[in-house]
Structure 1
Amino acid sequence: MPAIRFVAIPSRVAAHYRGGGADANGQTPERQISDGNGVPCRHCLRTVPDGSAYLIVAHRPFETVNPYAELGPIFLCADACARAEASDASPAMLTSAAYIIRGYSTDERIVYGSGKVVPRAAIGDEAGELLARDDIAFVHLRSSTNNCFQCRIERGYAA
Structure 2
Amino acid sequence: MRIHALPEDVLARARGWAGTDEFHELLESPGAPLRCCLRRAGVGEPLVLFRYAPSAGRGPYEEVGPVFAHMLPCGGLESADVFPEAFAHNRRLLRTYTADGRIHGGEIAEPEELNERIEELLNNPLVAEVQVRSASHGCYLFHITT
TM-score by length of 2: 0.90
1:1-159 equivalence runs, <5 A: 4-20=1-17, 27-35=22-30, 37=31, 39-62=32-55, 65-85=58-78, 87-94=80-87, 96-111=89-104, 114-155=105-146
CA distance in 2, matches of 1:15, 1:106: 26
CA distance in 1, matches of 2:45, 2:123: 39
Secondary structure of 1:73's match?
Answer: strand
Query: What is the CA RMSD across the aligned residues, in angstroms?
Result: 1.9
CA distance in 2, matches of 1:142, 1:79: 24
Contact 1:7 1:85 in 2 (8 A): no
Count of aligned pairs between the two proteins = 144
Q: 1:123 to 1:95 in 2, by over 3 A?
A: closer
- Unpaired runs of at least 5, structure 2: none
Higher relative contact order (CA 8 A, sep 6+): 1
1:84-111 CA distance string (max 9 Å, x none)? 1552211133154201001100011101
CA distance in 1, matches of 2:7, 2:145: 14
Of the structure 1 ranges 64-73 and 10-19, higher mean CA displacement relative to structure 2 is found in 64-73
Identity of aligned residues (%): 28
Contact 1:47 1:92 in 2 (8 A): no
